[in-house]
Amino acid sequence: MRKTKDIPENYYQYKLKVEFFNKYIPSTQHDVKTLFRHMAEYEKKFRKDLHSFTDDELKVFLVSRKAESVRSLDNTLSTINKYINFCCEKGYVKREDNPVKSFNYKEAKMQLLNSNTSEYALFTAGEIMNIAMGADNAQDGVVLALLFEGLNNKKTFQELINLKYKDVDFDRNEIHLTDRTITITPKTAKLITNAYTQDEYLSVNGDKVRRYKMEKAGFILKGIRGEKQVKPERISQAIIRLAKIAGIKNLRATNVVYSGQNHYAKSLLREKGVMKGFTRNDLRETASRTLRYFGIPVNSNAENNFLLRLENDLDDIKPEKQTAIIDRLKRDKMLVKDLKKVYHNQCQVCDTNLTGIDELAYSEVHHIRPYNEAHNGSDEINNCLVLCPNHHKLFDLGILAINPRDFKSLIHIDEENSLNGKVVEFKHEVDKDNIRYNYKEIFLKRKIQVTN
């Protein structure tokens, strides 16, 4: 084994770490070396190699990393996962013992991120509009306004890039997107007009000013140098430039969107007149409406993460009410996480352990009696199943159900389907009344629809 000066010989499993380290190209070895160096402190503390860390020990280590962004946290977990899988291949640990597999980091991100990170920074509508209206280029300023008022930054700003002038109804101050309509302020409407009529893009670097001709192709954000549409990099650079001019370190696309979501949610609560006495259902309904308004898929994780961000921004509600609701939200997240750990993120129907590109385990929790106002289901473990996305969808559609006669076998709407009669393994107690309700109100009604 070739030694390397980058990995101290007093590390746990020194030779193993050197071999893993040498698998990386020089340009990425620095990050691995930094991770190993920090990891060594906790390996010494726990008296074991990282590959043998428990779920709790892994969480302690991750918290100590004080990740400044979700991307940074994801990269750290990806490297750890690759290292442990490498150790599995070498026979040092069993693959099913990989703590990353059972560690539902997606639900723990808010706890693991540095509380001072830029993703926690929030801005008021006035602050965003002051920065936007004061931009050298209306093309830059309109980006902030649109992100704050309802466009999302997913898929490298595709909604911004594809937004056309004809999508804007200036009489009603509305923007019509493919899946929804958002309302804009008169100031944003003015910024859109200024951006669309801008013919040259000014690039200011110190005393030097360069002018680039902008292409006219119907898009609000215009391309330069022969490009009909703006490139995603220029949008990111525009936000960085505005942050520098305004002297605001934490201005990022993500927290501009988060700020807009909070602003919108608070306006919904004010409309309902519940700012000083809302219920948990008020919050859930507000979260769902806000996420949909911003074009974000609604699920329990997205709702919980949004509400945890929102709670720090609700200054004018009763503290005891706020604390009780947020404690409940955190407890709900822990229930889901604990249930997934019981099944090691494996589907109860097909035993599949789904992994993504980083080989991180993924599963979903299904509510047997739907968790909404129409069916009044609970968010308790006795109303939940751990499933893969495919079988989760079949249960949601009423195509698949648990047989209320024995409370353990499957019923498929197609009597010839191979899943009929398959026994589901339960490692937790399930409320039989929920199974009966699901069968009667979801499965049978779906079967009648299909038959007719």
Domain segments of the chain: what residues? 14-116, 125-255, 274-335, 343-451
- For residues 47 and 177, the model is more confident at 177
Looking at residue 2, its pLDDT comes to: 45
pLDDT band at residue 357 using 50, 70 and 90 as cut-offs: very low
Lowest-confidence pick of 193-197, 263-267, 270-274, 347-351: 270-274
CA–CA dist 302, 323 (Å, integer): 20
156-to-45, 48, 54, 254, 269 alpha-carbon distances in Å: 41, 41, 36, 11, 31
Question: CB under 8 Å to 310, separation ≥6 — which residues?
Answer: 261, 262, 265, 266, 283, 287
Looking at residue 145, its pLDDT comes to: 97
Mean pLDDT of 38-46: 86
Residue with structure tokens 């409407």?
189
Question: CB under 8 Å to 38, separation ≥6 — which residues?
Answer: 64, 65
Q: Compute the half-sphere exposure of residue 118: CA atoms within 13 Å on the CB side of its CA.
A: 17
> Which amino acid would we find at residue 392?
H
Instruction: Count other C-beta atoms under 10 Å from residue 392's C-beta.
Output: 19
Range with the largest mean pLDDT of 57-61, 93-97, 223-227 = 223-227
Helix or strand or coil: residue 438? helix
Lowest-confidence pick of 116-125, 182-191, 200-209: 116-125
Q: Are 229 and 219 in contact (CB under 8 A)?
A: yes
What angle, 0 to 180 degrees and rounded to 10, lies between the N-to-C axes of helices 26-46 and 55-65? 120
Looking at residue 109, its pLDDT comes to: 53
CA–CA dist 425, 385 (Å, integer): 10
Range with the largest mean pLDDT of 113-117, 330-334, 380-384 = 380-384
Helices (H), 48-203: 55-65, 70-89, 99-102, 105-112, 125-133, 138-149, 154-162, 186-197
Looking at residue 386, its pLDDT comes to: 93
Output DSSP code: residue 422.
P
- For residues 279 and 400, the model is more confident at 400
The per-residue pLDDT for range 397-413, each reduced to its tens digit, is 999 999 999 999 999 99
Output DSSP code: residue 219.
B
- For residues 217 and 318, the model is more confident at 217
The per-residue pLDDT for range 368-396, each reduced to its tens digit, is 998 876 788 887 888 999 998 889 989 99
2-to-17, 22, 250 alpha-carbon distances in Å: 11, 9, 43
302-338 burial, b at 16+ Cβ within 10 Å, e below that, comes to ebbbbbbbbbeebeebeeeebeebbeebbebbeebbe
Looking at residue 98, its pLDDT comes to: 75
- For residues 293 and 65, the model is more confident at 293
pLDDT band at residue 81 using 50, 70 and 90 as cut-offs: confident
Q: Are 313 and 263 in contact (CB under 8 A)?
A: no
Residue 448: pLDDT over 90: no
Displacement of CA 163 from its chain's centroid (Å): 24
What does the mean pLDDT of the chain come to? 82
Q: Are 214 and 198 in contact (CB under 8 A)?
A: yes
Looking at residue 270, its pLDDT comes to: 82
**pLDDT more than 90, % of the chain:** 36
Residue 114: pLDDT over 70: no
- For residues 2 and 144, the model is more confident at 144
Output DSSP code: residue 54.
-
For the stretch 121-127, contacts whose Cβ atoms lie closer than 8 Å and that sit 24 or more positions apart, written own/partner, are: 121/250, 121/251, 121/252, 121/255, 122/255, 122/258, 122/259, 122/262, 122/309, 122/312, 122/313, 123/148, 123/251, 123/255, 123/256, 123/259, 124/259, 124/263, 125/185, 125/263
Lowest-confidence pick of 67-76, 85-94, 187-196: 67-76
Looking at residue 142, its pLDDT comes to: 97
pTM above 0.75, yes or no: no
Looking at residue 8, its pLDDT comes to: 58
Q: Are 348 and 386 in contact (CB under 8 A)?
A: yes
Question: What does the block give as tokens for 230?
Answer: 């703006």
Mean pLDDT of 131-140: 91
Looking at residue 293, its pLDDT comes to: 96
The per-residue pLDDT for range 149-193, each reduced to its tens digit, is 999 988 889 999 999 999 999 999 999 999 999 999 999 999 999
Lowest-confidence pick of 47-51, 98-102, 181-185, 384-388: 98-102
Looking at residue 256, its pLDDT comes to: 94
